[in-house]
Amino acid sequence: MKITIIIPALDEAAGIGDMLQPLQPLRAQGHEVIVVDGGSTDATPDLARPLADQVLSTEPGRARQMNAGAGAASGEVLWFLHADTLIGAGSAESVCRALQQQTGWGRFDLRLSGDQPLLRLVERLINWRSRLSGIATGDQGIFVSRALFERIGGYAEIPLMEDVDLSRRLKRETAPCCLHETLLSSSRRWEQRGVLKTIALMWYLRLAYFAGVPAERLAAHYD
């Protein structure tokens, strides 16, 4: 199986090189890396170009960027990673094994980079909720067969909750493979806003979205 790894990025010059370096052995094995820049004002595209097979430019919007990457992909598996997420050794092999077992899509468990004890609780809650609900977050490295992704129409180009929306539509086709292996994601969002405040905000946004509040309205609260 050929995997295309799709990374939406915006002003990630400080970390994009470190994120892309672990993907280089996968490129050597024949997998593909596509970075989709959403209009960075820093050197993100220039730093990414030597470390990716393609660097695309689109209007900003994570869903729009990921759809653009999927449209340019040559792999039969699409693996969506955030620009502040690091994969572990063997992660790509785990993706292939999951899809070879006729699971159409899946995600990893999340580990956050910070040392605050409260972040360990956040990780457990996110992973537990995801396993119970079958809903994945973008930080968990959603992977999906290209055929299934195209069949459901890709990401809805909404400003927020695009991962939740995608998961709900994928669930109607098949249950996800919830891998216990972890991806390491930056905890900067949690630390900048405050862990407890971020927990409260994310639960509010999710509950409001499931209650039918449009993502466009919720995006203002997130920003």
Residue by residue, DSSP assigns 73-90 as --SSEEEE--TTEEPPTT
The 8-class DSSP code of residue 116 comes to -
Q: Is the dihedral of CA 87, 90, 92, 94 positive or negative?
A: negative
What CATH number labels 3-187? 3.90.550.10
Say what the pLDDT of residue 23 is: 97
> Which helix H or strand E contains 3, and what residues bound it?
strand 3-9
Residues in the chain: 223
Segment 30-46 shows an average pLDDT of 97
Say what the pLDDT of residue 222 is: 67
For residue 195, name the pLDDT band (cuts at 50, 70, 90): confident
For residue 200, name the pLDDT band (cuts at 50, 70, 90): confident
Contact in structure between 164 and 134 (CB atoms under 8 Å):
no
Residue 68 amino acid letter: A
Tens of pLDDT along 85-112? Answer: 999 989 999 999 999 987 899 999 999 9
Strand 143-145 versus strand 77-80 pairing type = antiparallel
Rg (CA), the chain: 16
pTM of the predicted protein model: 0.93
Contact in structure between 79 and 105 (CB atoms under 8 Å):
no
**What contacts 58, CB < 8 A, 6 or more positions away?**
36, 37, 38, 39, 64, 65, 68
- DSSP secondary structure, 137-201, as one string: -GGG--EEEHHHHHHTTS----SS-HHHHHHHHHHTT---EEEEEEEEE--HHHHHH-HHHHHHH
Enumerate the domain spans of the chain.
3-187
For residue 29, name the pLDDT band (cuts at 50, 70, 90): very high
Segment 178-195 shows an average pLDDT of 90
pLDDT of 221 > 70? The answer is no
Tens of pLDDT along 42-78? Answer: 999 999 999 999 999 999 999 999 999 999 999 999 9
